[in-house]
Amino acid sequence: MASQSSASNRNVDLRQRAELLLKRQQEGEALIPSAEVQELIQELTIYQIELEMQNEELRRSEQKYQYLYQRYIDLFNLAPIGYIILNNKDRIQEINLTAAQMLGDDRFELVGKQLTDYVAPDDQDIYYFQRRVRFAAGVPQSYQLRFSRSDNTQFYAQIDSRPEKDKNGHVFGCRLAITDITERKQAEAALEETNTQLKHTVSELRQAQRQLIQQERLAAVGQLAAGIAHDFNNILTSILGFAELMKVSPDTPVSMQADLVYIIKSTNRASNLVRQILDFTQRNISQPKRFDLAAFTTEVMAFLNRIIAEDIRLTLNIEPGDYSIEADPTQIQQILTNLVLNARDAIPAGGVIALKLMHQDFDPDQPPPLADMSPGSWLVLAVTDSGSGISPDVMPHIFEPFFTTKSVGQGTGLGLSQVYGIVKQHGGHIQVNSHEDQGTTFTLYFPFVDTFEVTASPPDAAGLIKGQNETILVVEDDKEVLNTVSMLLKSLGYRVLPASNGKEALAIYQQHQKTVNLVLSDIVMPDMSGLALLAALKTCNTDIKMIMMSGYPLNQEAASVIEQDAISWINKPMPLGKLSQIISKTLKVD
């Protein structure tokens, strides 16, 4: 301002001096000093040069301003972020090219339009709420909403709003910075989906880990159980054998009969306990047969109805269809008994136990109810009770061996463990749904067999069948068991040739081959096992009749040999009636 005032004063001074000199010349002054004229001309020349320099500076300043203005326009229009200036009616006053492209219209056509015309209908409430906040608080805002383009497609936007105020602080408009965050939203959605899948995968892994831990526990218990089963069953064989011998002996006083019955029952209970342990470890010896599960279940239910209290109603619903199954009938009966009795104990004041048998087919593209189930046809047995249900803290432990919520003496904690083991041993699956005070449903899945050969019934107690003085070669490495079995066979009317190991038995058989009608041998023996003895005996007589005894779970090799050679076998301890029947049946085979 000072320089401009100085230049103006100098301009006035030079003008006044030139006008005065001209007036003096007009008034006829004869002689005007040339020095004065020359000085004025020189000053005017200098001033003209200075003006030209100032004009040049002005031209350069104007060019710089035009460059900066054009650069601002370019930055405004070509910015990666959309910019919009709104008035107090939310009409667009200015909009850059980026924002116009976002909204899908020409920028000049957008000027004067309501911004709300482009806000997605579902997000109008968000915009109007932020508008009220803008006018009420007058502070910058940041929020997200969806815009609808002119072609009706939508995109997510991040809005950063800065209000414009007059000198009194009243809001009369605002400036909006708009960022398209559609890709970010899609990435967030994809990440959320990935997180959901990851959580599902982690859940499956944890479930698999729990199953693996449970399998490891069962394997450990199974290894221990299998290790002691042989010796324990040998002991039970001696106890049961002598008790049954005394019971059928005419020399036994009548007063001892009740005690002997108690000993036999206790021995059977101990034998059942071993069998239960082997069941849940999936190591028990099974005798699979093909039979009709529907007819079998109906027969078992008729028996269970007699032992269920009158205040509990037991129902069976069988949907139409073929229910062929390949399984061990005794073990299936054990499953039904355990589940029904377990349901009975969960109903303290009367209720309903409902069994349902049905078919379910799962296609390869159809998710099965359990992750490790394969596609195909399944037989489904559901047992539902109206009892007290299972609490969430108990649910993870229900299949663990020896876990029970019952009082001491009311349960061993092996019932559901046995059910689990038998189901798995038969290639099946088990699922549990329960809510406290709303009852429980156990759903069992068994593979479906297209056809069946025979109809199995629950096993009946075996009656005694006497021998006709046939000769039986008994092979047993346990001295007490050998003595017990020999006495049992003699009581049945058989002649007995005892052998304490496989090599001794082979020598005896070679000596008495013509008189030996049957070989009864233990499977697990030192030096020469029962299977090795069988192979050696077959070199002497291909039609050898043989029964295998086992107090130990059959391994795959033993089961395969027994099935291939059609060899009968019996599990220790051996009730006298069952032993007599299997011997009689084997001797009659041509």
Question: SS3 string of 148-159?
Answer: ECCCCCEEEEEE
**Distance between CA atoms of residues 201 and 180, nearest Å:** 33
Largest CA distance in the chain: 185
The pairing of beta strand 289-292 with beta strand 312-318: unpaired
- String of DSSP letters for 552-587: S---HHHHHHHHHTT-EEEESS--HHHHHHHHHHHH
Residues in the chain: 590
**Distance between CA atoms of residues 383 and 419, nearest Å:** 12
- Supply 383's token pair: 């047992």
- Kindly report the CATH number that applies to the domain delimited by 471-588: 3.40.50.2300
What H or E segment, with its residue span, contains residue 294?
helix 293-305
DSSP state of 387: S
- Which of 91, 110, 97, 99 is closest to 173 using CA atoms? 91
Query: Which residue's entry shows tokens 């005794």?
Result: 330
The pairing of beta strand 92-95 with beta strand 82-87: antiparallel
For residues 191, 193, 195, 200, the Cα torsion angle rounded to the nearest 10 degrees is -160
- HSE-up of 537 (CA within 13 Å, CB side)? 31
What is residue 281's three-state secondary structure?
Answer: coil
The correct answer on CATH 3.30.450.20 for the domain covering 82-180 is yes
For residues 578, 581, 585, 587, the Cα torsion angle rounded to the nearest 10 degrees is 110
- Which of 459, 556, 481 is closest to 525 using CA atoms? 481
Q: Count of H helices and E strands in the chain?
A: 15, 17
Per-residue pLDDT of the chain (590 residues; tens, 9 = 90+): 555 566 667 777 777 777 776 776 677 655 566 677 777 777 777 777 777 787 777 787 777 766 665 666 656 667 778 889 999 888 999 888 888 888 988 888 889 999 999 999 999 999 999 999 988 888 999 999 999 988 889 999 999 999 998 888 888 889 999 999 999 999 999 999 999 889 888 887 887 777 677 667 666 666 666 667 767 788 888 888 888 888 888 888 888 888 888 888 888 777 766 766 665 554 555 567 788 999 989 988 888 887 787 788 889 999 998 988 888 887 888 888 888 888 888 887 788 899 999 998 888 777 777 777 888 889 999 999 888 888 888 887 777 766 665 554 455 556 687 788 888 888 889 888 988 888 899 999 998 876 544 444 444 444 689 999 999 999 999 899 899 899 999 999 999 999 999 999 999 999 999 999 999 999 888 889 888 998 999 999 988 899 988 876 666 677 777 777 667 888 888 888 889 999 999 988 66
The pLDDT of residue 225: 65
**Distance between CA atoms of residues 491 and 476, nearest Å:** 18
The pLDDT of residue 39: 75
Phi, psi angles (nearest 5°) of residue 527: 70, -70
Q: Any residues with CB less than 8 A from the CB of 14 and at least 6 apart, and which?
A: 40, 43, 44, 47
- Which of 472, 474, 478, 517 is closest to 495 using CA atoms? 472
Fold of 286-447: Heat Shock Protein 90 (3.30.565)
The pLDDT of residue 248: 82
Q: Any residues with CB less than 8 A from the CB of 493 and at least 6 apart, and which?
A: 466, 467, 468, 469
Query: Which residue's entry shows tokens 């020095």?
Result: 35
In this chain, the answer to whether the domains covering 82-180 and 471-588 adopt an identical fold is no
Which residues on adjacent β-strands are paired with residue 503? none
Phi, psi angles (nearest 5°) of residue 543: -100, 25
**Distance between CA atoms of residues 365 and 375, nearest Å:** 9
User: Domain map of the chain by residue range?
Assistant: 2-78, 82-180, 286-447, 471-588
Helix pair 502-512, 530-540: axis angle to 10 deg: 20
- String of DSSP letters for 54-120: HHHHHHHHHHHHHHHHHHHHHHHHH-SSEEEEEETT-BEEEE-HHHHHHHTS-HHHHTTSBGGGGB-
For residues 19, 25, 27, 28, the Cα torsion angle rounded to the nearest 10 degrees is 170
